[in-house]
Structure 1
């Protein structure tokens, strides 16, 4: 059974505006603290691992709860979950703004992630009920553009706020946007739910949440404690066990949170790889580049924000253009070419000296490459399941996306620490026994603290070691992006061909 829209065109676009305002807050929440990290560290203190949790706490709870949030939206009402999520998000943002130490700050960041998951899953699945056919793809292209606006203006807006009012002011902006979204959504979004819902799949939700949380926590802890540490080994073992239990639970329940039969369709698999594609080629740079520009190169927050606009600015308009191009060019081609362009930008960036003018072109090229598939992602995600289960589709796709981003960030930070430690040791700046601890401090952008930790090494040596390690990391990221581009292209193309030769996917049955 497919739900038909009952609202007029004007009301539907107001629903879109409400959801887009909520979506805009999420990249602001992600990029703002990255720009402010040095100020947060100076004010609240904290170890390198505690400072890493400034970003990772948000991503961990966002990723771990998205699929359950999508199921809750389908079962208990999309509008209700959307508004509850925004309320929690506003309260958590206020708590983070007023936090007096790094531990409380990280806890409120985790609460922000939970609220964001509820709001996004509820809002996006509600949006899927209002639009059908080509208009749905255009609506989700606007949703992608909203993320682009948040990503493009987040760093510079955060830099301006930090310079004028201090780092705590960055939370005022996101609270204002969330409040505006909730006010508009309360008036315009009609309540809807899956008519065939049988209640939340508690076994699936619990096992999956624990699996993803354990996996992410284990990967985050490994650089500090080592992969053979008992805690890390236990966390990874729990993750594997919970994933196995999750598969068993989903195969037995009548109405699963994740319909495992969808993985028989190449297009669905291709969409999941597409969700993961920006993680290594783009999202990690949103955290790493502000740290490098401000902490390592000594730029101001405003100057760093201006450079970050070069990276994320193409997301302002290219997602909409990609949505239009999809009428004549296969999405597989658009996505594959875009990711290859991003990989070329990463290689170019690795060869570019850290001079502000020289950095502009490679940053723009990376942004262009990522923006092309960005506008198609969410529309493709909801196209592979019936409209009634749009919450599940949103949950699966964005769980894959955010989970990969969280795990990618943890892996990339660990890799950068390893590369930096090797460079410090090679330059004689630190003995091998001290290089790892010094590198973990240096990759947070704390050159002064690292120099104090390694008094024999000058600041210039530390910066050079970091820059060489960073350039090597960019080559690794480019290689991963190229492989992902090929998998996405083949998966989406095979899926499209299969749909013409065999029975269509459920969403293709809509009138």
Structure 2
């Protein structure tokens, strides 16, 4: 478990960290159009390969895929630290994203299986705390690393931590044999991976280029065609792209819905809140950001204890309701230029909603399905998170950056829309929880 918890800190840092190095990369390399892709390539590959990584882990064994993923990530991070051209950095970041996807799906299943029913809540509470710390403090830690070690340090530190995780995994014992499962629908999974990559590129380019840009239109059209091809091929395959056991579990579907919605409403605030409050002063922006992010670090263990008293599905409902209230009052506070106390209280509610469920939803979702498909379940869960987050970020970015008003005023209707999304997800979770059928 120590190896999985170590890598659960590395991967969020790798999402948020390189942004701190971009000014230094810009000064060293004369390739401005490629530099944003040093950030985007990792995120796109990470999101796109989660489902495929889960299928491979269930087929070949979660230990094996986890180890391969960490090795791939460590090698790519080492290449990044030694990189000499922007092109190499972009390719290495994409490879690191593939490795992170394999290690995340394999590692989540590995943690669930190793902890067992008795310790699963505590293990995933620790996972949520570490992941929350990585996301919340990743930019600050990365800025400190860049200040002391230069931009190469942002990539060298994760490489060293990944090597430590491999040592911890080796010390834990020999790999378990993979269960004898049918070969998954790899062709369908590869087409889905291509569709997700195209979707990520297309949605990510909407804010700077506009919806009518040829690259955006081609990427989104290609994503649709690849998705249709994936579904068609999947129906003809002996094994479905998504195992039937996942689709038959109402609790799993409810928890996936909640997890995706909570990331969709949280991440746009984390990204755009500092910009929105920049005109109010650095102090106010810092207080508001801390109110939003600190609960994601301190509350996962509380959520794990709470999940032992009430159903995780109803905990998810509570979190979505809390997020909707917090986002609604955030919208009113921003729109009316309310005081800092009111805004921070609203943001605290949103952060608490995410913190109380961070890690808890992962453990409960994997516990709701058979162990033989736990890695596929982790892939579906994390794909839902990343897809929701990617689309929400693109839409929020287009609305805020393209608005003719100040960023704080532009963020107000976005927060209101996110509140509506939380309520819609809450309705879906309640319907799934109360629907008749297999649970």
Please report the TM-score for the alignment, with normalisation by the length of structure 2. 0.87
What is the CA–CA distance in structure 2 between the aligned matches of 1:61 and 1:214, rounded to whole Å? 10
Find out whether 1:327 has 2:265 as its counterpart.
Answer: no
Contact persistence 2:121–2:305 (CA under 8 A): no
Offset of residue 84 of structure 1: 1.5
> Structure 2 stretches of 5 or more lacking a match?
none
Measure how far apart 1:75 and its partner are: 1.4
CA distance in 2, matches of 1:339, 1:193: 42
Is the contact made by 1:74 and 1:193 (CA closer than 8 Å) also made in structure 2?
Answer: no
Q: Matched residues in 2 for 1:225 and 1:217: separation?
A: 12
Within 2, Cα distance between the matches of 1:58 and 1:345? 34
Task: Give the equivalent residue in structure 2 for 1:211.
Answer: 195
Q: Contact 2:206 / 2:394 at 8 angstroms: preserved in 1?
A: no
Tell me the residue number matched to 1:258: 242
Tell me the CA shift for residue 352 of structure 1: 8.9
- The aligned counterpart of 2:71 is 87
Report what 2:29 is aligned to.
Answer: 44
Distance 1:381 1:40, change over 3 A: farther
| 1:491 paired residue number | 428
- Counterparts of 1:94-109 in structure 2, within 5 Å, are 94-109=78-93
- Return the alpha-carbon distance in structure 2 between the equivalents of residues 366 and 130 of structure 1: 32
Query: Does the Cα contact within 8 Å between 1:332 and 1:490 map onto a contact in 2?
Result: no
In structure 2, what is the Cα distance between the partners aligned to 1:249 and 1:266? 25
How far off its partner does 1:45 sit? 5.0
Matched, 1:312 2:250: no
- Tell me how many residue pairs correspond in the alignment: 436
Q: Deviations over 1:392-426 (max 9, x none)?
A: 1001111111122233333333333321xxx2xxx
Q: For 1:78 and 1:485, how far apart are their aligned partners in 2? A: 33
Q: 1:106 and 1:292 mapped to 2: Cα distance?
A: 30
- Work out whether 1:367 is the aligned partner of 2:348: no
Shift of 1:309: 4.7
Residue 162 of structure 1 deviates from its aligned partner by: 2.5
TM-score normalised by structure 1 residue count: 0.75
CA distance 1:360–1:114, shift in 2 (3 Å) = same
Name 2:152's counterpart in structure 1. 168
2:410 equivalent to 1:472: yes
- Alpha carbons of structure 1 residues 171 and 307: separation in structure 2 relative to 1, 3 Å: farther
Contact 1:59 1:403 in 2 (8 A): no
Superposition CA RMSD, Å: 3.2
Could you say what secondary structure the match of 2:175 adopts?
coil
Query: Is the Cα–Cα contact under 8 Å of residues 327 and 347 in structure 2 kept in the other structure?
Result: no
Cα distance in 1 for residues equivalent to 2:347 and 2:128: 19
Match of 1:177 in 2: 161
Alignment partners' CA distance in 2, 1:250 and 1:477:
38
CA contact (8 A) 1:23 1:147 kept: yes
Q: Which runs of 5+ in 1 are unaligned?
A: 1-14, 424-464, 506-511
User: In structure 2, how many angstroms separate the alpha carbons of the residues matched to 1:105 and 1:308?
Assistant: 30
SS at match of 2:181: coil
